[in-house]
Structure 1
Amino acid sequence: MSEIKAWRSSALKGLIHVKHGFPFKSEYFADAGKHVVLTPGNFWESGGFKYQPGKEKFYDAQFPADYLHKRGDLIVAMTEQAEGLLGSMAFVPEDGRYLHNQRIGKVTATSGDIDLGFLYYAFRTQSVRTQLSNTASGSKVRHTSPERIYEVSLPLPPVETQKGIAAALSVLDAKIDLNNRINAELEALAKTIYDYWFVQFDFPDDNGRPYKTSGGRMVWNDTLKREIPAGWAGDNIGSVADVLGGGTPTKANNSYWNGDIPFFTPTDATGDTFQLVTEETITESGLANCSSQTFDRGVVFITARGSVGKVVIAGRAMAMNQSCYALRPKTPESYPYVFLHAKRLVHHLKVKASGSTFNSIVTNDIDWTQLVRPPTEKILAFCAVTRPMFERIERGLRENRELTQLRDWLLPLLMNGQVRVA
């Protein structure tokens, strides 16, 4: 008998235990604190843990100690926060910080016949997702339960084989995570340089010294109501980029859709610096019959409705819908500056909207928001420093896309024994 046939399918009952979360009281949620309450919103759609700085739910009250996670604890989404998230699993990334509420379950092994790393990947297969979806309850918000999870059946190779499968897949995930961390550090470094040059005005002077700190001449600007370096000005973002709109071809004509042209919308902006792919695509006919044009690589998008205020760089030529603005750099190589300048614009708009709902960006917001306008040569000097950082970010994102495709291709083959780990 081959090894594949020897892999028995087994339900998870008796192999794991799923512990529901604690009913944390909303009146004790805080804007800051030591402990963060995990929810299904902390999951990537692919099943990984998603840390969202600035969106944490801190908890400022007593709670049972056994609801505080250790690094490496396995948790599962019991509620479908978004399509495809039901049953997503993640490993908690650090000790003593995270709590799980009633929409999250903590998974522990109760048998030596199951490896939790293998289980984590098994719960990303279509077979397991289908089983959970078919048994979920609820109409608007779908739920699963420990009992339904125990009924999930999956091929169960020997535990050493399980560990080998998990190790092989985790190598790919580790590289993806490393690229993500490098990208985050590089973008943060580029922003720090931007702030140092264009907010604090300590760009290198003619002698390589920090301009303002070294006594560089500052003059009052009536437009900005502040002092800025001599020779600089105040202007809107249209001084460094053409501000363009988009449009959507009618959904009634099928020949306009599912073509070769990526079609960017606010839902595509998920936090990456560069937008490489989009959920929807249109045809040449669709492009000809809507208000969008094709925007080249390096054009910066700002989402104006829906997920408002997200800023991304087009990583390839694509069209765009009417819920966004496109900022086409007047000098193509200056896209790093335009990207960070757009983030500065969004920051100004959010500060202006303090106390009210920030639910859209309109043309007047862009036209009337005055920002510091450095000389072109200073912008290009900044981009010469930071452009290699952005090029490395883009390479990391492209590599991650390839690694993700490889991992997702290997996943079902490893899980059903078609590919074996040596």
Structure 2
Amino acid sequence: MKVNVGNDLYLKGRIGWKGLSKSEYLDKSQYRIINGYSLKDGYVDWKIAGFISEERYEESPEIKLEINDILISKDGTIGKVGIVRKLELPSTVASGIFVLRNIIEDKLDTEYLFQFLKSSNFKNFINRVKAEGSTINHLYQRDLIRLEIDVPYIKEQKRISKILKDIDDKIEVNNKINQELEALAKTIYDYWFVQFDFPDANGKPYKSSGGKMVYNTELKREIPEGWEVEKINEVIEVKDGTHDSPKYIENGYKLITSKHLKEGGLDFENANSISEVDYININKRSRVDCGDILFSMIGNIGTVYKVEDETMDFAIKNVALYKTSDNPSLKNYIYMSLKGYYMEAYMANVISGSIQKFIGLGSLRKMPLLLNDEIIAAYTNKTKHIFRQKTNLKKQNQKLAALRDWLLPMLMNGQVTVGEAKAQLGMVAEENVKYE
């Protein structure tokens, strides 16, 4: 059976003259709006979705959101797809997003439709539209209504969509566990290195038990007696990525910039590709190795990513590189320091730019780092199991995501059966990542 988006489904977008300017967004209201920034690949990030007035919400009833509506970005990074899993407040979309609603649920499983739109099948459709001459940075409704989807019988759709959703759900569970693990590591870090209640020689909290404190002029606060403060580049090497703008090609090595730097992973899908020659030249200056830390320098400044990827086939631009791979005993401590109190306080004084905010390499190299070898070693030992479990789950998620992306078209094209997919999923789920 074929499903045609224009004839069989509900597809709407915000009328152009009803677009909202940033000045119309509110700090708080009873009405939400999703724009391209809050629409992520696969989901809606409600934490950064906007607020609008009741009048603006009511003026476009055709795009009032319902549970299980599928959202598709049509501007900027076109083809991002998310689904509305929950609605705590009445919500709508900005002008850069389509609302796609399944109105033939007896013939088409909504989850199957969502998974199809995440697959390479949909990406291939967008690429064909581009090849036919449509504007590259915009997906038009006149193009999207032409999309036809071959679907099996509804029972088979549900079987396929269930296994794909099971993978998504497992990835989400792992991400939540990792958030909790990192929160635990941060709690210990703050207790020891911000409040200075690390265990003293008698096992008691140092500062609360009367441990001697001295004023440090660089940090502008008291620190434990005997501790030191040094510029971070005196402890480890700090570099940045290329300053050049290499030519982008269709297939090649990925160039990771600040906008592709995510705490949960690197966004290879939306990163541009460069030639092998450019890749080699960039990496002469700033090669990334497993165990290094990346830090976004422009735009969304301060996103920190600890590199634990098995393959390093990418280069960096507008990203700071902390060579913690050269001193792995400090890796987790520096990682938490870059995400913590001292870095936040330091950045408040050194970030530049009136329109596009950025932080320079010179400033990053001068960041003050609090040092006490004994307490840092104790922190590393106490939290090593936390970070190992985080790494384990992150690697499992990378394998699950790769499996899902491979299975999506294979299941839908009939090249892999549901039974074969379940076997593949079981192998990944049972795999135990080993550490030295």
User: TM-score, with normalisation over the residues of structure 1?
Assistant: 0.80
Asked whether the 8 Å contact 2:83–2:114 carries over to 1, the reply is: yes
1:128 to 2:122 alignment: yes
Aligned-partner Cα distance in 2 for 1:230–1:197: 14
Tell me by how many angstroms 1:290 deviates: 5.7
1:117-162 per-residue CA deviation (whole Å, 9 max, x = no partner) reads 11111222333344455558963631332x6544321112221211
Asked whether the 8 Å contact 2:255–2:317 carries over to 1, the reply is: no
1:402 to 2:399 alignment: yes
* Unpaired segments ≥5 residues, structure 2: 420-436
| 1:41 aligned counterpart, secondary structure | coil
Q: Percent identity?
A: 25
Amino acid at match of 2:122: V
| 1:99 aligned counterpart, secondary structure | strand
| 2:261 maps to which of 265, 269, 288 | 269
Aligned-partner Cα distance in 2 for 1:184–1:250: 35
Q: From the superposition, tell whether residues 200 and 42 of structure 1 become closer, same or farther in structure 2 (CA, over 3 Å).
A: same
Aligned-partner Cα distance in 2 for 1:142–1:274: 24
- Indicate the residue corresponding to 1:4 in structure 2: none
| 1:123 aligned counterpart, secondary structure | helix
Q: From the superposition, tell whether residues 97 and 192 of structure 1 become closer, same or farther in structure 2 (CA, over 3 Å).
A: farther
Tell me by how many angstroms 1:58 deviates: 2.6
1:417 to 2:411 alignment: no
Q: From the superposition, tell whether residues 110 and 300 of structure 1 become closer, same or farther in structure 2 (CA, over 3 Å).
A: closer
Tell me by how many angstroms 1:170 deviates: 0.7
- Indicate the residue corresponding to 1:116 in structure 2: 110
Amino acid at match of 1:41: Y
- Indicate the residue corresponding to 1:332 in structure 2: 328
Aligned-partner Cα distance in 2 for 1:314–1:69: 38
- Indicate the residue corresponding to 2:285 in structure 1: 292
Amino acid at match of 1:11: N
- Indicate the residue corresponding to 2:433 in structure 1: none
- Indicate the residue corresponding to 1:100 in structure 2: 93
Tell me by how many angstroms 1:227 deviates: 1.4
Amino acid at match of 1:360: F
| 1:37 aligned counterpart, secondary structure | strand
Amino acid at match of 2:114: Y
Aligned-partner Cα distance in 2 for 1:192–1:309: 19
Aligned-partner Cα distance in 1 for 2:408–2:363: 47
| 1:408 aligned counterpart, secondary structure | helix
| 1:81 aligned counterpart, secondary structure | coil
Tell me by how many angstroms 1:241 deviates: 2.3
| 2:37 aligned counterpart, secondary structure | helix
1:162 to 2:164 alignment: no
Tell me by how many angstroms 1:231 deviates: 1.8
Greater shift in the superposed pair: 214-223 or 161-170: 214-223
- Indicate the residue corresponding to 2:383 in structure 1: 386
Tell me by how many angstroms 1:294 deviates: 4.2
- Indicate the residue corresponding to 1:143 in structure 2: 139
Aligned-partner Cα distance in 1 for 2:209–2:89: 45
| 2:371 maps to which of 370, 374, 379 | 374
Aligned-partner Cα distance in 1 for 2:46–2:88: 17
CA-based RMSD: 3.8
Q: From the superposition, tell whether residues 21 and 292 of structure 1 become closer, same or farther in structure 2 (CA, over 3 Å).
A: same
1:325-361 per-residue CA deviation (whole Å, 9 max, x = no partner) reads 3223464122111112123464234412489456333
Asked whether the 8 Å contact 2:236–2:322 carries over to 1, the reply is: yes
* Unpaired segments ≥5 residues, structure 1: 1-7
1:341 to 2:337 alignment: yes
Amino acid at match of 2:107: D
Q: From the superposition, tell whether residues 163 and 250 of structure 1 become closer, same or farther in structure 2 (CA, over 3 Å).
A: closer
Aligned-partner Cα distance in 2 for 1:320–1:328: 14
- Indicate the residue corresponding to 2:363 in structure 1: 365
Correspondence 1:182-261 to 2 at 5 A: 182-247=177-242, 258=252
Correspondence 1:69-88 to 2 at 5 A: 69=65, 72-85=67-80, 88=81
Normalized per residue, the structure richer in helix is 2
What count of residue pairs does the alignment treat as equivalent? 403
Aligned-partner Cα distance in 1 for 2:339–2:267: 16
Aligned-partner Cα distance in 2 for 1:334–1:92: 40
